[in-house]
Structure 1
Amino acid sequence: MANKEKSECGGFNSPFEVGLRTLIILAVNSPISLDLQRLIYYDYLILHSKDVGVENCPPSLHPDIPNRSGGLIVRRKAMQLGLELMYSKSLIDIVFNENGITYSSSELTEPFLNLFVSPYSNRLRINALWVTKYFSKYSEEELKVFIESNIEKWGGEFMYEAYVRSGIE
């Protein structure tokens, strides 16, 4: 199954890697629980913080590669698998409430994250704090509109070329 997951989700954003980033997102949002879609958006935004387009945002952690916004589409499966993995280790809690299914940090989240000491994990936390602070007042609909109105700008500069090469107009 590991090979199947890797081929479906790619090695770069494996369920384990996405799950670790999700732990950081949930930790900085604690005690608030977040739904899957907000986690997907936040995960993209902590990696590509410059895409938010405001002054004083932290630097993006990943390069501004062409078609990077496509990661939002393929990230769902990796995120779901990452959440399942983290839940299986009691590192997150699943919350069932009037808003549906949401996820929150568990009592083990912070102690586990404290085991990671590296410049990259520190930058992930800094970006997650910034994204959370910036977008926490956005409703689900406002966040969706923000993402949808900007997605073509985020590495979409070669999307038209891809359509032309594939014969789609």
Structure 2
Amino acid sequence: MAALGDVPLFNSPLETGLRALVVLDAFYPRPCTISELTWFDHLVVHTADVEGPSSLHPDLPSRGGELLVRRQLIDEGVHLLLNAGLIALVDGADGVRYVAGEEAPSFIELMEATYSARLKSCAEWLADRFGALPEEELRTVVHQRLGRWTLEFQGEGTLYEPSA
């Protein structure tokens, strides 16, 4: 068993899974695909990119490339919290989606650090801003803000070329 000091906390499935949980809780009862969670994970920490509150993370010039590594981390993080019962799977006609589990609000309430409070606030803003958008419109927003190449590297399931 690895020592606690050997467990990565930043850019880990645990970190991205917890952010996904906060986002899913803010969006509840709207279920999200893994692609949407990947986009929301980026947008929740870079809210200023979409005319939102000040971003949680620094505005680095190559931050659009972050999506390239986030997809797998989000997938691993969601499954980690799915196994913990904090995220629930919704299997519908349009595929697999995820929602905050029954215990999510109680768990999230325990997150009291300054960063956590800002994350929750940004997630609420994100849900208010994008919660009603269908996935296709959300893809268009991501395409316009982050560029087509970030979508291409996420795979065929997320590639979308908006009409001109």
**Pairwise TM-score range, normalised by the shorter structure:** 0.7 to 0.9
The aligned length equals 143
Q: Which residue does the alignment assign to 1:150? A: 145
SS of corresponding position for 1:102: strand
Which residue of 27, 34, 37 maps to 1:29? 27
Contact 2:30 2:131 in 1 (8 A): no
Within-5 A mapping of 1:34-73: 34-52=32-50, 54=51, 57-73=52-68
Give the Cα separation in 1 of the matches to 2:112 and 2:141.
33
Within-5 A mapping of 1:13-162: 13-52=11-50, 54=51, 57-152=52-147
Larger C-alpha radius of gyration, 1 or 2? 1
SS of corresponding position for 2:91: strand
Q: Name the TM-score, length of structure 2 as normaliser.
A: 0.81
Deviations 1:138-167 (A, max 9, x none): 221111111112215xxxxxxxxxxxxxxx
Of the structure 1 ranges 26-35 and 88-97, higher mean CA displacement relative to structure 2 is found in: 26-35
- Deviation, structure 1 residue 137: 2.6
Q: How has the CA–CA distance of structure 1 residues 70 and 11 changed in structure 2, closer, same or farther, with 3 Å as cutoff? A: farther
Instruction: Provide structure 2 residue ranges, at least 5 long, that are not aligned to the other structure.
Output: 148-164
Identity rate, percent: 37
- Deviation, structure 1 residue 121: 0.5
Give the Cα separation in 2 of the matches to 1:30 and 1:150.
25
Runs of 4+ in 1 over 2 A off after TM superposition: none
Instruction: Provide structure 1 residue ranges, at least 5 long, that are not aligned to the other structure.
Output: 153-169
Q: Name the TM-score, length of structure 1 as normaliser.
A: 0.79
